[in-house]
Amino acid sequence: MLFLVLISASGLLLNHADALGMSRHAAAPWVLSLYSTELPAVDSAFSAAGVLFASSGETLYADGKEVAKGTNRLIGAVLAGDTYVAVTRNEFLLVSNDATLIERFAPDASGPMSKLGTDGQHIFVVIQDAYYEFDPQRMSLSSAVDVTQESVAWSQPAVLSERQAEQIGTAALGQAINWERVLLDLHSGRILPVVGRYLADITALCLLYMCFTGLWLWARRR
């Protein structure tokens, strides 16, 4: 009976999934723990003024919070005034102190950006061994002169702890799993890898048994 109630209730909710907003990510730890999926790997990570920026797949995170989707591999992050500048291989992203995306800018460059750094006043990137200066106020990129490798403090990759890697991986996994999928797996029993399917099979067999025996009893009375 409990399994029938579960199937009926989840089925009703699935019929109104759009109206109930079930396309939202199911990033709650207890939900993700039901799935044995391996956590997505962190592609690259850089620390800027105490904030950890990391890219996983095509998403940028700041201290485990999603900043932007559709991004390339992160190559660095620096603090410019009260705004963070995170740079991928093809794009600049301005991020506020609360990890909110302010603006993104994809320059028409001759190749992918490979390094990001600052001399304390200006922001520089390297594109095919040439130095360029990025102006976050004008959102523009121009050739830099009188810049050397030693005059710039280049953003260095961060070494993640297990907790940090798990936090980012969990956030990335949460994007792939929404509440509609959780309900669908609950409805079919697949949320419990082996036991759930057998419970669904037993319930289906019991229902068939009730249908056929009920029909037989009705026929006998006739």
Q: Dump the DSSP string for 129-157.
A: TEEEEEETTTTEEEE--S--GGGSEE--B
Please state the φ and ψ torsions of residue 6, each to the nearest 5 degrees. Answer: -60, -45
**Residue range 123-151: mean pLDDT, rounded:** 91
Asked if 67 contacts 58 with a C-beta cutoff of 8 angstroms, the reply is no
Q: In the chain, what are the domain boundaries?
A: 2-24+178-221, 44-159
Question: What was the pLDDT predicted at 100?
Answer: 93
CATH topology of domain 44-159: Methylamine Dehydrogenase; Chain H (2.130.10)
Question: What was the pLDDT predicted at 174?
Answer: 63
Asked if 187 contacts 13 with a C-beta cutoff of 8 angstroms, the reply is no
Question: What was the pLDDT predicted at 15?
Answer: 81
pLDDT, tens digit, for every residue of 51-103?
Answer: 999 998 889 999 888 899 999 999 999 999 889 999 999 999 999 988 899 99
Please state the φ and ψ torsions of residue 132, each to the nearest 5 degrees. Answer: -130, 150
Residue 55, beta-bridge partner list: 44, 60
C-alpha–C-alpha distance, residues 104 and 83, integer Å:
13
Does the pTM of the predicted model rise above 0.85? no
Task: Name residue, tokens 């009705």.
Answer: 218
Question: What was the pLDDT predicted at 45?
Answer: 95
Tokens, residue 102:
């302010």
Q: How many Å from the N-terminal Cα to the C-terminal Cα in the chain?
A: 29
